[in-house]
Chain A
Amino acid sequence: MKAKKLSLVSSLLIALAAVLVGLSLFFPWWQMVFFAPQYPEGLNIIVYPNKLEGEIDIVNGLNHYIGMENFSEENFPELAYLPYLVIGLAVITLLTAILRKKAVLYGLIGLFIIGGALGVWDLTRALRKFGTNLSPTAPIKIDPFVPPLLGHNTVANFVTESILGYGSYFLIAAFILLLIPVWKDRRR
């Protein structure tokens, strides 16, 4: 069976996916908001592919009471190389759009799945590391905990809410855009 090329529409969709992947670099991927009685406005940890933003110093200042390690860009070596991986992924996606080969597309989808799974695993690992590796000399002793990847959690006087950022939605949208050609060109 001679594999025909993917349709032009599919190619454009994949190209759009490449753009979305590239765009995601400039938006936060994940965010945790801390609420407490005296912080009704919330304190943020905002994770970009290449940096941390938000009231990191204040969160760190408060976390030291329960013996948590500081959040800092040095503690996340991923931030140094993640942008290159994202750019690479965008380039591969763009190549897939140009090559218009189903096999390559399958490979790309596989890459997305593996990358996504790794990302989720890495974040979970980080959350576990910070939540369970509490200093034994901390002034306030609390049980180790693992904040959820998404949703609410309560620690002492803080309620945290973890949410996805625009960047993650762009990646999810890109992934959906990649799936469409598979279905659309299923007879080719």
Chain B
Amino acid sequence: MKKWIPIASGLLAGFVAATISFADFSKSTNDQVASSNTKSDAEKVYVPFGEKDDYYLFASGGHSGQMFIYGVPSMRHIRTVPVFSPDSATGYGFDEHSKKLLGDYTWGDLHHPAFSETNGDYDGKYMFATDVGNSRAAAMDLETFTVKDIINVPNTSGPHCAAFVTQNTEYMFLPTRFAVPIGSEYKSLDDYSEQYRGVMSAVTFDQNKDKLNIAYQVALPPWSYDLSDAGKKSSADWAVMTTYNTEEATTNLEINASQADRDFIVLFNWKELEKMVADGQYDEVTGQKMIFPEKHKGGIYLVPVAKSPHGVDVTPDGKHFIASGKLAPSMTVFSFEKAFKAIEKQDFAGERNGIPIINYDSIMEREVNPENALGPLHTQFDDKGMAYTTMFISSEIVKWDPKTGETLDRVPVQYSPGHSVAAEGDTVSPDGKWLIALNKIAKDSYLSVGPSHPESMQLIDISGKMKVIQSSPVNPEPHYAQIIKADKIKTIEVYPKDENNKLATYKQDQARIERNGNEVHVYGIAMRSKFIFDAKAKRPDVIEVNQGDKVFLHLTNTDFDEDITHGFAINQYNLNMEVQPGQTNTIEFTADKAGTFPMYCTNFCSALHQEMTGYFLVKPKN
């Protein structure tokens, strides 16, 4: 059977050659991994080039109106995403879509970010945020890290107590920090208790249309609502929020809102509220479906709590909620189960503003009071269900066991932590490993940049005894943040071609300028390294209009290549936008200034980026 040898060898030769050409013999050479016990602090935070962080940190940017994206554990700042404020670097607030989203607002105060959730766990699809400054809510798409929708929320004035999403992102609730009259109408402060309301908004997000919508509102009493959390698992239909100024003070709140020994946690069943709205149990005011608790009874209860609490956080198992005292140096653990029983048995201690007050002793599990720990603000959890509470006044993080109240560990931070954030630390399954203290005072920490200091974020290894292992400066001002496992986020690198988009121009010979009366519509292309506005013109990169013309420029980036973003600016016209790879972006303006204005690519794209220019010629009137 020797005859088979040549056949076999011939075929073998062919396939060996194919294997050599196509097979991937490269081995993963990961020799950086060592047991975390043996790593030094420096090694724990060092992410070598070519490797990436394990987690994303989404830190609220406070009154910058932005969201800051960091990598954990390296604590490297990766990106700033504008949300409630214009940003010339990305053209946010300049191009037509974002300009419409921002309206006339030029700033925002981004407080508490919240990921979309599925079964109480982050699903990595969307990030929601609220604007205390101008009462808005926003939804950011995590495929592109861009804001898809912003909604103005009437009646709710300063949604600080937000956003928190229910366990399958059915609702995002926006309770308010400031009470105002319905419709923000003019009403005397002497009539505060009667005329003012702390309106909470229930906002839904349509993931198919990328649209935020107000489902209904609740006219809660005129108190300040501070922080909140949605229930989980057995408490999934419920939510809790803290209040202060139940004194209903109208001036000098520092003193006057700190008089009562007890304020309240509002406990409500959103499924029940949803049903009430479906059954028509609401009043239509300012175009909103408004539940007035004193009139439309049910679904809302008050839980007395030590005065002026800040955070209220639901344990990962969904069985308890923990209030942080702020002005009372203790954390109070309440039982959802006991609360449900008390509600069933109508175990109430009277009413306030028409809302039943649940008997404190019936549902309180324990008051936890670590020695000399002052100013408890906010609690996060690890994979074992242990609680980590920030102490604003005593500048430390205290680890404790919610089941026993025992203090387990303490670590000082520099200084005055508001919130902290643990890896997926407010979900049904926290990861443990990392906690970041979001400190309000960064003095002594970094090279001085003068009297105005950055804030500080300190990375704490919580895998063993708590230890601060890294400190990272950050722009003003992270309030809350969220940490998500990196592999949950699936970004796109290039916008896919959309043949149905009438504004897009993908073929160079179809770049054109169409005039319709005094409207000029430009369907242009940006590509390495030129603009094509009119393929048939003598100079394809020139736009010529008459003074007073309305210009609609639709620019498509036809470089379907990772990280090849083009910018577009018109000199002296105060215009700049970004066109990401494959994207079509529109800018609209009136050519009110006659003259000659260079146009250029603002986002460095190639070796001939400098040459990527054109002229915008505006013929004077008369």
Contact among A58, A163, A177 for B10, CB-based, below 8 A: A177
Residues of chain B lying within 8 A (CB to CB) of residue A184:
3
B interface, by DSSP: helix, strand, loop or mixed?
Answer: helix
User: What is the CA–CA distance of A169 and B18 in the complex, to the nearest angstrom?
Assistant: 7
Residues of B within 8 A of A179 (CB): 10
A61 and B17: CB pair below 8 A?
no
CB distance from A24 to the nearest CB of B (A): 12
Give min CB distance, B81 to chain A, whole Å.
Answer: 24
What range describes how many residues of B lie at the interface? 20 to 34
- Chain A CB within 10 Å — which of B14, B22, B528, B607 has the most? B14
User: With a CB–CB cut-off of 8 A, which chain A residues contact B528?
Assistant: 61-62
- Contacts A61-B528, A173-B10, A184-B3; is A166 near B561 (CB within 8 Å)? no
Complex: A183 Cα to B15 Cα, angstroms: 22
Q: Is A164 an interface residue (CB 8 A)?
A: yes
State whether the Cβ of B7 lies closer than 8 Å to any Cβ in chain A: yes
Q: Kindly state whether residue B11 has any CB partner on chain A within 8 Å.
A: yes
Which B residue sits closest to A62, measured CB to CB? B528
**In the assembled complex, B559 has its CB within 8 A of some CB on chain A:** yes
Alpha-carbon distance between A100 and B10 when the two chains are bound, in angstroms: 22
Contact with B along A155-169 (1 / 0, CB 8 A): 000000001101001
Contact for B17 among A140, A169, A180, A183, CB less than 8 A: A169
Size of the A side of the interface (Cβ < 8 Å), in residues, is: 21
B6 on the A face (CB < 8 A)? yes
Known: A169-B15, A173-B10, A183-B6. A58 touches B561 (CB 8 A): yes
**Assuming A169-B15, A173-B14, A176-B11, is B561 touching A61 (CB within 8 A)?**
yes
CB pair A163–B527 under 8 Å, yes or no, is no
Q: Is B42 an interface residue (CB 8 A)?
A: no
Query: Does A65 have its Cβ within 8 Å of any Cβ on chain B?
Result: yes
Q: Is B251 an interface residue (CB 8 A)?
A: no
* A61/B10 in contact, CB under 8 A: no
Q: Does A172 contact B (CB under 8 A)?
A: yes
Rounded to whole Å, the gap between the CB of B180 and the closest CB of chain A is 54
Besides A139-B611, A172-B14, 8 other A-B contacts (C-beta < 8 A): A55-B561, A57-B558, A61-B561, A65-B607, A163-B21, A176-B10, A180-B6, A184-B3
Q: Which residues of B contact A (CB under 8 A)?
A: 3, 6-7, 10-11, 13-15, 17-18, 21-22, 527-528, 558-561, 607-608, 611
A-B contact pairs, 5 of them (CB 8 A): A65-B607, A139-B608, A169-B14, A176-B13, A179-B10
5 cross-chain pairs, A with B, having the tightest CB-CB distances, nearest first: A176-B10, A173-B14, A169-B18, A58-B561, A163-B21
